[in-house]
């Protein structure tokens, strides 16, 4: 029988949970992780990682169909969907095994099963409704994540109406696809399936796609997606769906008018809800609002000794936010001096569509709503030598500064590999940089990142290359 007494227990082995556990072990705490399915959580197994493997395949397919632009030719270019999906699953499996290795390396005990709060400092573990153990610890970190929200009338059935999980393992490529919701998940799937040849329609209830992004970036993205052949309907809602043997007839209302569309498959991507059920929150007295556990700046719930991190604790629903929260939470428990609460405004967001989108900080509209006078800089990729050489001139960088102090309030980018570049502005935000430090920074040439420097210069009327 494994030891059941610990200093800290983590319920959930996703990017928040396993990182929190490893950091706790590094700090000398005897630590356990309870995971009911796969180590690495949704992100590693059914989200961030496998979708990027799929999108990489779509990118390769796109390049292969544009070889003449680079002086190459290839006949009968085609793909094997089964192998594309199999590679994605293999990548996820490899990394899940890697998480298991890291936990073992750090001497974290892993319990395979579901966990439920069972009194002060106790967590009951079961497997297939059979008791496994009752663990005890003065600190219990809840990291159970979230799942896809379902719309009434568009409940997923795994065949015609898909969740993100279903969309990652298609047996055949749908010829016609409807994506409901234009957040990061919906747009990434729209781009993946369109790149492979499907006719794609995106429905968004708000007045623009990617609504959390800067309005200028959203508008740029919509034009790019429509150029690729994606149909986008904003201010639109799905009013009904009737299934046939192998298709769905969907009624869409937009602009006060209803229309019918027939598609092979529907992907519902309208947000997420926290996994708050069946873990004993009500019995423990833990406060929950709108399917998310309420926490303070250091991830503490209203019940002493119980903490919550990641998607379970609310937006932004990002793996890197969960991981950082886990570290903040554990270091505060361990009494580390100088632990700072997570500043959500410094968390970068990334969407891995084509072209990619990345941002950090305030949008131009939010900055103005806060009462600040702003300076805004812009630089198009068409003015960047490396972007043109890559054959990726579609994109732009936008920066927003406080006109009085020079503080970098926000940065917003669309274009090739901007998800790899946004960390530069994230560091600048963390260091509370002004335009002076950014202008004094030497950017290497030729790189796409030079567009970042030029955007800063443009905010102050000093852009060189455009």
Whole-number Å distance between alpha carbons of 328 and 99 = 20
The tokens describing 27, both together, are 């700090």
Asked if 286 contacts 302 with a C-beta cutoff of 8 angstroms, the reply is yes
**277 contact partners, CB below 8 Å, separation of at least 6:** none
The tokens describing 143, both together, are 């990291």
Whole-number Å distance between alpha carbons of 130 and 114 = 10
Whole-number Å distance between alpha carbons of 57 and 60 = 5
Other CB atoms within a 10 A radius of the CB of residue 404 amount to: 10
Query: Which of 428, 424, 418, 411 lies closest to 381 in space, CA to CA?
Result: 418
Query: Would you please indicate which residues are annotated as catalytic (active-site) residues?
Result: 445
Length of the chain: 466
Rg of the chain taking only CA atoms, in angstroms: 24
């Amino acid at each position: 029988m494994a030891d059941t007494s610990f200093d800290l227990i983590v319920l959930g082995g996703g990017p928040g949970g396993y990182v929190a556990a490893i950091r706790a072990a590094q700090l000398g705490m005897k630590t356990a992780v309870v995971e009911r399915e796969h180590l690495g959580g949704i992100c590693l197994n059914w989200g961030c990682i496998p979708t990027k493997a799929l999108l990489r395949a779509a990118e390769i397919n796109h390049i292969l169909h544009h070889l003449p632009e680079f002086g190459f030719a290839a006949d009968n270019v085609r793909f094997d969907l089964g192998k594309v999906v199999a590679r994605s699953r293999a990548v996820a499996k490899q990394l899940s095994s890697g998480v298991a290795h890291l936990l073992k390396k750090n001497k974290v005990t892993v319990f395979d099963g579901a966990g439920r709060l069972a009194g002060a400092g106790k967590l009951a573990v079961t497997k297939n409704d059979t008791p496994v153990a009752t663990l005890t610890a003065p600190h219990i970190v809840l990291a159970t994540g979230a799942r896809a929200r379902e719309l009434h009338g568009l409940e997923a059935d795994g065949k015609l109406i898909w969740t993100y999980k279903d969309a990652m393992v298609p047996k055949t490529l749908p010829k016609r696809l409807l994506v409901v919701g234009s957040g990061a998940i919906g747009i990434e799937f729209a781009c993946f399936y369109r790149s492979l040849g499907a006719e794609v329609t995106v429905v968004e209830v708000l007045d623009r796609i990617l609504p959390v992004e800067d309005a200028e970036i959203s508008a740029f993205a919509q034009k790019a997606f429509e150029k690729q052949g994606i149909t986008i309907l904003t201010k639109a809602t799905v009013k009904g769906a009737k299934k046939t043997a192998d298709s769905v007839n969907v009624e869409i209302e937009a602009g006060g008018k209803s229309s019918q569309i027939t598609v092979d498959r529907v992907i519902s991507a309208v947000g997420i809800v926290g996994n708050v059920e069946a873990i004993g929150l009500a019995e423990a007295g833990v406060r929950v609002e709108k399917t998310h556990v309420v926490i303070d700046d250091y991830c503490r719930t209203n019940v002493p000794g119980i903490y919550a991190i990641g998607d379970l604790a609310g937006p932004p629903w990002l793996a890197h936010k969960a991981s950082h929260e886990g570290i903040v939470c554990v270091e505060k428990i361990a009494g580390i001096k100088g632990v700072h609460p997570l500043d959500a405004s410094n968390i970068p967001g990334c969407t891995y569509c084509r072209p990619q989108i990345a941002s950090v900080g305030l949008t131009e509209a939010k900055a103005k709503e806060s009462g600040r006078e702003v300076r805004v800089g812009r630089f198009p990729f068409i003015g960047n030598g490396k972007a043109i050489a890559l054959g990726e001139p579609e994109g732009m960088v936008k920066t927003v500064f406080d006109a009085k102090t020079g503080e970098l309030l926000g940065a917003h980018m669309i274009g090739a590999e901007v998800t790899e570049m946004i960390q530069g502005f994230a560091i600048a935000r963390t260091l509370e940089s002004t335009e002076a430090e950014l202008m004094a920074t030497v950017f290497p040439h030729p790189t796409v990142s030079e567009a970042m420097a030029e955007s800063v210069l443009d905010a102050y009327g000093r852009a060189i290359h455009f």
